[in-house]
Amino acid sequence: MIDSLPFTYRSEKKFIISDIDRIKLHHLIKSNRGLFSEVFYERRVNNIYLDYYDLDNYFRHVSGNSKRYKIRIRWYGNFFGFIEKPVLEFKMKEGDMGIKKEFKLVSFEMKKEDDLNPLVSKVFEKSNLPPDILEILKTTKSFLLNSYLRSYYSSSNKKVRLTVDRDLLLKPIFSHKIPKIMGEPDRRTFIIELKYNNGDETYVSQISQDFPFRVQENSKYINGINGII
């Protein structure tokens, strides 16, 4: 199980904002006392989320379990076609603290007509993953696809990384088939996330006061699975 993996914690805070102009949001970030500046170009983030057959990771979250897990394949750029440098991620979160453990996967091609779970299994088999990781993956299947645009910022003292996600697409997987149409993106909602090390809570609390938003729990995976069950 995922509990056996070695994790080191970091802390996260999220703000969910609806119906705000992108220019105004950018101004709020730039005028924050953290003196944030963009550190990377905006890019599209794509994910295939996996869970155990009984959706154990999902139910851990909704039942209020102190430890919540996610398993996903992540890549950047186009959603379909040849996918370079995909990464398998195991993410664990406890309260505001969380961490990811990553494993490189082989590049692969994903077509609209592919069967997703056989494709994913083949990628895992070719990726030289540790035996214990492969054993965990054998008890999982793909449940959700999502995609969004992400912008990246850093505070002037480098203590806080800030990301903004927008134009989110969520597509639950009702069968093995990859959905041919991802639907329309949510253009009204922005998700701000602050990532920082333990010990910097006071500084992050000061930064958060400059945002006229309320800290909220948010999980793209949980929101997507809620559309299935």
Q: What is the C-alpha separation between 105 and 128, in angstroms, rounded? A: 8
Cβ atoms of 145 and 179 within 8 Å: the answer is: yes
Q: What is the C-alpha separation between 163 and 161, in angstroms, rounded? A: 7
pLDDT tens for each residue of the chain, 229 residues long: 555 555 556 788 888 888 788 899 999 999 999 999 999 999 999 999 999 989 999 898 888 777 888 999 999 999 889 999 999 999 887 766 777 889 999 999 998 777 888 899 999 999 999 999 999 999 999 998 899 999 999 999 999 999 999 998 887 775 555 555 556 677 788 999 999 988 888 999 999 999 888 777 778 888 878 766 6
Q: Is the CA virtual torsion 203, 206, 207, 208 positive or negative?
A: positive
Q: What is the C-alpha separation between 141 and 6, in angstroms, rounded? A: 23
The closest of 103, 100, 45 to 68, measured between CA atoms, is 100
The pTM of the full predicted model, rounded to 2 decimals, is: 0.87
Q: Which fold has domain 2-225?
A: Hypothetical Protein Pfu-838710-001 (2.40.320)
Q: What is the C-alpha separation between 117 and 96, in angstroms, rounded? A: 32
Q: Is the CA virtual torsion 182, 38, 10, 16 positive or negative?
A: negative
Q: Report long-range pairs for 135-140 (Cβ below 8 Å, ≥24 apart).
A: 136/1, 136/2, 136/71, 137/50, 137/71, 139/52, 139/53, 140/50, 140/51, 140/52, 140/53, 140/71
Q: What is the C-alpha separation between 99 and 5, in angstroms, rounded? A: 11
Instruction: Return the CA Rg of the chain.
Output: 18
